[in-house]
Amino acid sequence: MSTENAAAPAIDPPRPMPWLLIAATCLATFAITASGSTRAPFLIDMAGDLDVSLTMIANLFGMTSIAWGLTSFGAGVFSDKIGRRPFLVGSPIALAGALGGVAQAESFVAVAAWATLAGGCCGMFTGVSMAEIASRVTDRQRGRALGWIMAGQSMTLLVGVPLASWIGASIGWRGVHLCIAVLALLSAVTMYATTSTVPKPGTFKGGAKSPSLASALTGSVIRLLGSVFAERICFGLASIYYATFMLQTYGLSLRALAIPLVIFAAGNILGTIVGGQLGDRLRDRRMTFAIALMIAGTAAVLLFGWQSSVVISTVMGFVFMFTNAICRPSLMAALAEVPAEVRGTVMGMNSTAASAGWLAAAAVGGWILSTVGFAGFGPFSAILALLGAGLAILGRR
């Protein structure tokens, strides 16, 4: 082979999209995300049932995020060594058992323990699933492929949270947790059926030695992980507290809340679909992420600061979620641009950074709510959006 040919970039031929695996992963991602997000409409009910403050119940999101982040990194590392199927199938099964424990718990301590375990089960799935999908498609298909996986998260807001709010009025928050446990078991079956021929990571390139973690965590990747952290705080503040914001600001009932939640979530899923297309069609994924995130930060100021009517707050919720969701596929596709042998590790660290963002959103959001009120959410989100966008731009190649 000539030196010129050896130096030429490898051609990345197009592959058929693995639609069955994508569909199964969307279902599992829906169940994974719903295990925590569907608590949002029941914060007040759970606080009364367990005889604790609203802030204590909100801290469940933080406990879940800690476990989620810790297990995401560990699962990502081990998935690069032993394969991804054990995590893709086993974690939904374990999640179903943990959710059953939440539903049966009679004290806040017991609920917190089971919810933390459930978060750990979720963490073992998210990063590993994104690494697997990214490995099954070419670079210029990753925005769309990962966008569809994130659509599974968006469907939780579009369908899961409003439906939970509606049926929860009849069966309560405990019954909702049992329903999600059944869904998690179903998703485990679909993941088993679609991952039967998954190749073992690390067998690429004739079994060559995998690159080190230090070689994968370049300065660009580290800055992108910082962007993930900032973006997830912005998203977490809205998704955790939006239902409570609408309930307390306008005195809505749980059934009336379902309509604003559907519109709120519709912005997320539409933005995810649009963002996937832009992530593959526009050359500069980092700039795409930065612009969309800055627009979302501006929308957050109006969402929580302009409390004039239910209609206005509903429209601004849609705008915020739409623009925030646009930025995510580009960011995930940019992070996936690492050697395949360590992609599970890097995507696991992405989930860890995202979980840390959720933890910060739950903790800082509770403090802002108790001191400044919902009006403080907007300026704080705008500052974080500028920070996340700046880190992404600095990481451009």
Name the DSSP letter for residue 198: P
- Number of separate helices (H) and strands (E) present in the chain: 15, 0
Rounded to an integer, what distance in angstroms lies between the CA atom of residue 354 and that of residue 31? 18
Confidence check: pLDDT of 397 > 80: no
What is the pLDDT at residue 178?
93
CB 61, CB 238: distance < 8 Å: no
Complete DSSP assignment for 238-271: HHHHHHHHHHHHH---HHHHHHHHHHHHHHHHHH
pLDDT in tens, 103-122: 998 899 999 999 999 999 99
What would the two tokens of residue 125 be? 């799935």
> Domains of the chain: which residue ranges?
19-199+217-394
Domain 19-199+217-394 indexed as CATH 1.20.1250.20: yes
Complete DSSP assignment for 56-77: HHHHHHHHHHHHHHHHHHHHHH
Confidence check: pLDDT of 204 > 70: no
What is the pLDDT at residue 13?
57
Query: 200 in helix, strand or coil?
Result: coil
Mean pLDDT of 289-310: 91
What would the two tokens of residue 225 be? 């992980």
Within 13 Å and on the Cβ side, how many CA atoms surround 166? 11
Confidence check: pLDDT of 185 > 90: yes
Assign 3-state DSSP to the chain and report helix, strand, coil percentages, each to 5.
85, 0, 15
What is the pLDDT at residue 210?
54
pLDDT in tens, 304-342: 888 888 999 999 999 999 999 999 998 888 888 877 777
Confidence check: pLDDT of 367 > 90: no
pLDDT band at 54 (very low <50, low <70, confident <90, very high): confident
CB 165, CB 48: distance < 8 Å: no
Rounded to an integer, what distance in angstroms lies between the CA atom of residue 321 and that of residue 298? 12
pLDDT band at 213 (very low <50, low <70, confident <90, very high): low
Q: What is the dihedral of CA 144, 151, 188, 14, to 10 degrees?
A: -10
pLDDT band at 88 (very low <50, low <70, confident <90, very high): very high
What is the pLDDT at residue 28?
93
CB 192, CB 70: distance < 8 Å: no
* Structure-model confidence comparison of residues 196 and 181, the more confident one: 181
Mean pLDDT of 48-67: 81
Q: What angle do CA 271, 294, 162 make, to 5 degrees?
A: 40
Confidence check: pLDDT of 209 > 60: no
pLDDT in tens, 76-85: 888 888 888 9
Q: What are phi and psi of 94, to 5 degrees?
A: -65, -35
Rounded to an integer, what distance in angstroms lies between the CA atom of residue 122 and that of residue 29? 9
> Ranked by mean pLDDT, which of 7-16, 129-138, 180-189, 195-204 comes out on top?
180-189
Confidence check: pLDDT of 395 > 60: no
For residue 314, the one-letter residue type is T
Q: What angle do CA 369, 373, 379 make, to 5 degrees?
A: 100
What is the pLDDT at residue 4?
39
CB 123, CB 71: distance < 8 Å: yes
pLDDT band at 66 (very low <50, low <70, confident <90, very high): confident
Least trusted range by pLDDT, from 78-82, 161-165, 260-264 = 161-165
Residue found by looking up tokens 């309930």 in the block: 247
Which spans in 3-53 are helix H?
A: 3-7, 19-37, 43-50
CB 351, CB 76: distance < 8 Å: yes
Closest by alpha carbon to 240, among 96, 135, 357, 350?
A: 357
